[in-house]
Each structure stands twice: as C-alpha cells, then as structure tokens.
Chains A and B, each alone.
Chain A
Amino acid sequence: MNAAMKITALLVLKAAPETTDPVILANASDVSHFGYFQRSSVKEFVVFVGRTVASRTPPSQRQSVQHEEYKVHAYNRNGLCAVGFMDDHYPVRSAFSLLNQVIDEYQKSFGETWRSAKEDSAQPWPYLADALTKFQDPAEADKLLKIQRELDETKIIIHKTIDSVLARGEKLDSLVEKSSDLSMASQMFYKQAKKTNSCCTIL
C-alpha cells in the first residue's frame, strides 16, 4: 500500500509519579535495519527516549512526540505506560489502538505485579516481540483500518463486476437484434415456400 510503515520498538513502563524515573517492564525492538555496530546504541537511545516520554505523559493521557525521524507514541493508563517508536507513515490511530492492546495484554498476563517493580526487568516478554512483528502492518492492530481496506477491495471488485455486467448487457442487445433479424428472415422463407407450393399446377 504505502511506503513501508515500521515499528522500531515497543516498550512497557511503569510510570511513577513525576519525580522518579519510569521503570521499564518489557522491551521489544527491531533493529535489524541498522548496521551491526549501531544496534546497541539504538537500543540505548530507545530506552532513554522511552523513559523521558513516559515520565512526561500524565496518567490517562495519550501523547505523540516527534523525535528525529521517529514518532514516539505514549499511552499512560493509571501508571502503566506503553510507548511505541513508529516512523512517520504509521497512522496515529492504529498506533494508539496497538498500545491499548499491549497494555490490556500485559495486565491480563501480569496482573498487578508490575506495581512493585523497582528496577528495569531484563526478561523479555514474548508477546511483545510477536506483537512487534505482527503489527508492522498497521491493519493488524487497527480493526477499523482492516475493515476499511477490505471494503475498498470489495468496492474495486464490485466495480469490475459492474463493468462486466455492462458488457453483458451490450452483448445481449446485439443478440436480440440478431435474433429478431433471424425471425424476420425465417418468416420470409416460409412465405416464399408457401407461395411456391401454391402455384404448381402446371408441370
């Protein structure tokens, strides 16, 4: 569809009140498109910017910040904050619905244990990594986008159908003309035959 829309990283943080730094609870990043030597620095950058943005997002608020060539979207819900690093093409709405899903999933799987976390958790969360790969295509995250896309495809198919129906109409019109000509001709034929038959007395 459009130019490639990428998610670079997804983070889940515990956003403490303004004074302390947010604590990272889960981290998944896709740095495959950076060179090998840049990968660690990119990861650091992701961690740092994620912490800053999460600390600045008030609870129950959504926020989008433009940082260099990334858009960082953050959603804070009652202290649990999800941060996503997307490029500029990624639609904002899908980003936020993705963050919603991530937070819901996290709360489902970890319950309230995250509230006691004091330092960055090092264990990876497989769901986040899966989400990162799955949601590279924003249609997956955003049902609305998916529906809209399918509707557009259906519309194209419908238009093609209408075109074929119009062509069929044209062919039927030509057929009806030909059949009426044929019926005229056969009628003449019958009359001629009858005429020939009537006057055969001599010879």
Chain B
Amino acid sequence: MQARHGQSSYRDRTDEFFGVVESRRRSIAPAAENNVPHGGGGGRREDPRSAAANQSEFSKRASLIGLAIHQTSQKLSKLAQLAKRSSVFDDPTREIQELTVVIKQEISGLNGALLDLQAVRNSHNDESNISRDTTTHSATVVDDLKNRLMDTTKEFKDVLTLRTENMKIQEDRMKKFSKISSKESANPFVRQRPLASKPSPSQPAPLPWANGSSSSSSQIVPSRQGEAESSPLLQQSQQQQQHMVPLQDTYMQSRAEALHNVESTIHELGNIFTQLATMVSQQGEIAIRIDQNMEDTLANVEGAQSQLARYLNSISSNRWLMIKIFFVLIAFLMVFLFFVA
C-alpha cells in the first residue's frame, strides 16, 4: 500500500475509511468471541472485516504481550537491584525468591501467549486473504516479541547467577567473621535445608547449591552418632533436628578444635626441640675450639718452662766459670801489685 501512495498524488481511500470504521465497530463486538484462533470458520463472507478484526485482534494481543514483557523486565531490574545488594545482615532472601517465582511464571505465561499469537497469525494467514505486507508485518511483530522475551529470559538467568555468586560471597564472609563460633557455618546449611525439602519446583539456581552443602553437613552428624543411633536420628522431626544439629556441631567442633590445638602444640614442641639440638651442636663446636686453645697454651707454657730451665742451668753453670775467671783476675792483680810494690 505504501508503494501505491508514492505513485499518485491523490487516492480515493474512502473504501479504506469505511473498512476501518467497520473494523472498529466490529472489533469491539467480536473481541470477546475471537479468543479462539479458529473462530474465523463461520465468518467467511465477512472476510475483509473479520480479517481486519483479526488483524486488530492480533495487534491488540501483540500489544498486550509487549506490555507484559515490559512489566516483566521492570520486575527483573528490581530483582537485579535486590540481588546486587550484598550486605551481610539485610538479606532480602524472601523477597528475592518471591520475585523470582513471579517472574518465572510471567515468563512462562508470556511464552505461551506468544505461541498462541503465532498460531493465531498462522491460522489467519491460512483462512483469510491478507496482503503480503500484513503477513510480513505480523511476522515481524511476532519475531520482535520473541526476541524481547528471549532477552528478558537471558537477563533473568544472569540475575540468578549473580544472586548465587553473591550468596556464596556472603557465606564466605559469614564464615570469616564467625570463625571462633563455627556454629554459624552450620546455620546457613540448617536454614536452607527446610527450603530444600519443601516441594518447590519454582526454586531455580540456589537450590542445587544449597542441596549439595546440606547433604554434606547431614553426613557429618550421623557419623558421630554411630550405627545404631543414626536411624532414630533420621526419623526425628526436622524441627528438632535443626535445633539439635547446631549443638552437636558445636560439641564436635570443639572437640575437633581441641585436637587441632594439641596437634599444633606438639608440632611446635618438635620445632623447639630441633632448634635446641641445633644450638647445642653449635655450642659443641665452640667447646672443641676452647679445648684446642687450652692445649696450645699448655704446649707453649711447657716449652717456655724448659727454656727457662735451661737458662737456669746455664746461668748456674756460668757462675762457676765466673768465679774461676774472677780468681784468675785477682791472681793477676796480686802479681801486678807485687811487681809494683
């Protein structure tokens, strides 16, 4: 129709105008009964008008779907904001899960509606002779809606992954803050166990993660109790179990902690002993050096003593010689005195 517009300056569109008026008048009436896609069976003679009515019906439904998609994406953005809010204390878990459920239902509803719309369009294409442009238009509309729905679903998945990551980060943070009273780490498992056990198929990604961790913690508890007691333990009501499990874990964990302490103390003691051995061996070397020094000193002193002894000997022997020389000198002096006097 647009091609024809471009060719002539004026066009008699009276027929079109009448058709539009008729379709408007009819679309209000048959809108209620045109919900069934195959409702065009009895209206063959009103083909152009029913075609127009169907067309407007199609466009109305398309617009409804578009509106619903928009609302869903708005809710999704709100959910994304809630999921991004990763504070430790103000955890909007409940709201997030409710919102998730609602969004999932809406998406599945939209999916169904879109499929219906496509079926409608196909049936209309088969029944009435709509122009090629209308066909392409409706096909485009359906495709566009499908794309938008796909984008919304993708965003939804991203938000869910973000949510799981944030929950993991919160877990780590809680464990870090409450390392001493490690009862805290049991609590998220305990808290999520009733969530896991409720028949909630609408719970997406957080569920398998919570299930895995709760199954590991439920293994810890029966292993302590021993064989015969594990069956009555499992038969207890879950309420009591949740209250008791933190206490059991506390007891077990305190025992485990005490054992760890003992082990580390023994380890430290081993270390200290090794250091002690090193120090003592070093000091042994020093002692050997001292010993050598003393032996050297002894040798020196003995040598010096022998020298002095020899000297003494030589001195004492020299004295005799000295006396003899002296006597000889005095004899010569006497002789000289005799000669002079």
Interface residues of A (CB under 8 A from B): 58-64, 77-78, 92-93, 96, 144-145, 147-148, 151-152, 154-155, 158-159, 161-162, 165-166, 168-169, 172-173, 175-176, 179-180, 182-183, 185-187, 189-190, 192-194, 196-197, 200, 203
**Inter-chain contacts of A189 with B (CB < 8 A):** 300-301, 304
| Chain B neighbourhood of A58, CB < 8 A | 236, 240, 244
Tell whether, in the assembled complex, residue B247 and residue A165 are in contact, meaning their CB atoms are under 8 Å apart: no
Is the CB of B64 closer than 8 A to any CB of chain A? Answer: no
Q: How far is the CB of A26 from chain B (nearest CB, A)?
A: 23
Residue among B228, B289, B293 making CB contact with A182, cutoff 8 Å: B293
Q: Of B272, B282, B298, B311, which one neighbours A169 at CB under 8 angstroms?
A: B282
A-B contacts at CB below 8 angstroms, number? 135
CB of A183 within 8 A of CB of B287, answer: no
Nearest neighbor of B225 in chain A, beta-carbon distance: A60
Whether A197 touches B304, Cβ cut-off 8 Å, given contacts A93-B258, A169-B279, A180-B293, is no
- Neighbouring A residues of B305 by C-beta, 8 Å: 193
Task: Assess the A186–B262 pair: CB atoms within 8 A.
Answer: no
Chain A to chain B contacts (Cβ below 8 Å), 16 pairs: A61-B248, A62-B251, A96-B251, A159-B272, A162-B276, A169-B283, A172-B283, A179-B293, A180-B293, A182-B294, A186-B297, A189-B304, A197-B308, A197-B311, A197-B314, A203-B322
Q: Contacts A58-B244, A158-B276, A190-B301 hold; do A92 and B251 have CB atoms under 8 A apart?
A: yes
Contact A144 B247 (CB under 8 A): no
Chain A residues with CB under 8 Å of B293's CB are 176, 179-180, 182-183
Given contacts A165-B279, A186-B301, contact A151 B262 (CB under 8 A): yes
- Smallest CB gap from A60: residue in B: B229
Contacts of A145 in B (CB 8 A): 258
* B259 neighbours in A (Cβ, 8 Å): 144
| Stretch in contact with the other chain, from B70-78, B94-102, B182-190, B263-271 | B263-271
B248→A62 contact, CB < 8 A: yes
CA distance A191 to B87 in the complex (A): 87
**Given A60-B232, A155-B268, CB of A187 within 8 Å of CB of B251:** no
Interface positions, chain B 264-316, Cβ under 8 Å from A, are 265-266, 268-269, 272-273, 275-276, 279-280, 282-283, 286-287, 289-290, 293-294, 296-298, 300-301, 303-305, 307-308, 310-311, 314-315
Could you tell me if B279 and A197 are in contact, using CB atoms closer than 8 angstroms? no
Q: Are A161 and B287 CB-contacts (below 8 A) given A62-B248, A200-B311?
A: no
Q: How far is the CA of A193 from the CA of B303 in the complex (A)?
A: 9
